[in-house]
Structure 1
């Protein structure tokens, strides 16, 4: 974006304001919305207001930390639904976008819709305008907008788009909920263990040192852990945080590391199932809805695959599109990935042969959604055995480490 200086007259006084926009027309439109004065002059400038400087600094820091502002899916869903309702009521898409620009509370979304409004004023189609923000909206939005324009039924396309985005959001929230429970419990156990190591075990260390006797193995392990935490706790914490940061950095920058990690995580107990069924539920949902909306299978596959984060699954699902383009049937293409159950392959095959592929794909999507929800609803039954194992190991170590020397002392006194 460029910097613009706007001169305007308000209450008989000549004033200036600085703002950022893509071009002079967009700057003039933004200035009109920000004040009720008469605009005299709009010109490009290198001068930037303090507010804009602070905003730029904040954006740079956010990007550096990987926290760059993104459109929130709930805000996007609300805006798309509003557009759907307004266009269905006969309001032009131009006026609908103008209204959404004014009503949206999401800063990034408001900026994008403002630019789209200017694009429509300058003669661009809605698809051409939305395509400029593919990184913000995602391919699914571009595909559905293009479908709406090509079929002439924008309201229905927007309605289906809102439904798909809502499903994706619900999927993400359920995934976070599923991961939150075991992680919270494990953190609580770790904190409890640290408290015992740092505040309880040192009291017994003094008693054991006074005894001066040979300590059993569990006690030596316990005291060794306590000594390491007491003397090197800060360095262990720094090393742990550095390891996490390094892994995150490697995951974002190294394709080999990302693929290796994604392959490993799919094999981890519980986490692998959650990630697999969450990913497959999202992929089949998007693919099914795009096919039902009339988008060609190859294009629908291409868009749906871009919603997949796990590199291993993405590679296998990407091969489906290549196979279909080479003339392989969808059934064989899915079968060759090795990740679809035989029952699902039979359903897809029946759909292809009977001409009801979209209905069968809907059943496949419903199956993965059911499996994903089943894991989330019963996650406690999956986690409890692991938690009991950790708790038993912790209690056993503490009990043996503390009480075995006392038993030895009691035996020595009796003898």
Structure 2
């Protein structure tokens, strides 16, 4: 039975204050609390006559102060380490809150620690912060609390979060390079068409001879870009915004995008391996935590990150519910490589499915790492080749009439 969601604890804010101490000296600093009244009361206990208090503003440019998934991974590792050292849970949360340099994370951990200290189970408390702790995270903590092995579960959670964030970083890196190549090539081309080629056009007008077809083609593009650059820019911006909106609102658009991405050469290989790694890592972690395989497959499907794999895993779940072994069900989907289904078969026969899935995740995470490094090495010279072809083509188009200048003069 799912526990009822606890009421969210009052938000903890950081306040700047100024005042005068018992010796008459001016003092200032920062304190955390729920309200200005609480801050003033605390400072009066310390013998400070408060002259000014102000809630600390996060500011427009405080992006680096925002809680990111890697912060949650670090906190998870800290909790696992402290629990492993025998530090009680409430004290662990309080120590992490006090020692953290990032104010939003400090406030979050203070709120969680306050709720847990009042008797609310940790898993129930975390469900009040879905922005930072998803259902999988909370389910794992809940399993640890119910089994009395929260220390072991948190060690698994920390490994899972660390591996997930590293994998996510590698995928972003893999996607960045192709985008960088296209962006640089596009910017350079636009600059040439807008500012460089028009200079040549003035020269060509005095030639009095017919220009080569390639040169006329490039000059035509340059004229179009100069005349309608704002329309071209508007179309690109609107197209991007419409796609982004459709991607957010339409499941069908997201699914078709996932299918298309898996057909892009080179990139598709990395994304395939990453999806398998996420599937194996999630299933290994949840199954080892004592969550039934059928329920664990739900989490694994959501964590795969791609419609094709999500559909395949849901089909596997349906077959497993009907009594089929998972390795057989994986073969029927024709989505997972034979090596993966064979390792799952070994894990099922040996009774060490979670251990075998962990090995699968390790293998594919390493393959993703190698593939991203290979892509990086390939694209670095490719950037030069693409720019060379684009810039070189435009330069050749402009110099062809000059090469023919001798025959024109003759």
TM-score (ref. length: structure 1): 0.79
Moved more, 391-400 or 267-276: 391-400
Partner of 1:266: 262
Residue 186 of structure 1 deviates from its aligned partner by: 2.8
Residue 194 of structure 1 deviates from its aligned partner by: 2.4
SS in 2 for 1:186: helix
SS in 1 for 2:132: helix
For 2:40 and 2:112, locate their aligned partners in 1 and report how far apart those are by CA, in whole Å. 15
Change (3 A) 1:370 1:89: closer
Tell me if the contact between 1:127 and 1:145 (Cα under 8 Å) persists in the aligned partners: yes
Q: 1:364 aligns with which of 352, 360, 363?
A: 360
SS in 1 for 2:303: coil
For 2:104 and 2:313, locate their aligned partners in 1 and report how far apart those are by CA, in whole Å. 32
Residue 219 of structure 1 deviates from its aligned partner by: 0.9
Partner of 1:226: 222
Tell me if the contact between 1:270 and 1:382 (Cα under 8 Å) persists in the aligned partners: no
Tell me if the contact between 2:283 and 2:354 (Cα under 8 Å) persists in the aligned partners: no
- Where do 1:5-404 residues align within 5 Å? 27=34, 31=38, 35-37=42-44, 71-380=67-376, 382-383=378-379, 387=383, 390-391=386-387, 393-395=389-391, 397-404=393-400
For 2:93 and 2:35, locate their aligned partners in 1 and report how far apart those are by CA, in whole Å. 18
**Structure 2: any 5+ residue segments left out of the alignment?**
1-7, 12-18, 22-32, 46-52
Q: Deviations over 1:149-196 (max 9, x none)?
A: 122222222122111111111111112222223322332222222232
For 1:121 and 1:204, locate their aligned partners in 2 and report how far apart those are by CA, in whole Å. 75
Residue 384 of structure 1 deviates from its aligned partner by: 6.2
Change (3 A) 1:50 1:313: farther
Tell me if the contact between 2:75 and 2:96 (Cα under 8 Å) persists in the aligned partners: yes
For 2:389 and 2:400, locate their aligned partners in 1 and report how far apart those are by CA, in whole Å. 16
TM-score (ref. length: structure 2): 0.80
Tell me if the contact between 1:283 and 1:307 (Cα under 8 Å) persists in the aligned partners: yes
For 1:160 and 1:30, locate their aligned partners in 2 and report how far apart those are by CA, in whole Å. 42
For 1:93 and 1:349, locate their aligned partners in 2 and report how far apart those are by CA, in whole Å. 38
Residue 33 of structure 1 deviates from its aligned partner by: 10
Residue 2 of structure 1 deviates from its aligned partner by: 9.7
What is the total number of aligned residue pairs between the two structures?
381
Pairwise CA RMSD: 3.6
SS in 1 for 2:206: helix
For 2:20 and 2:399, locate their aligned partners in 1 and report how far apart those are by CA, in whole Å. 85
SS in 2 for 1:378: helix
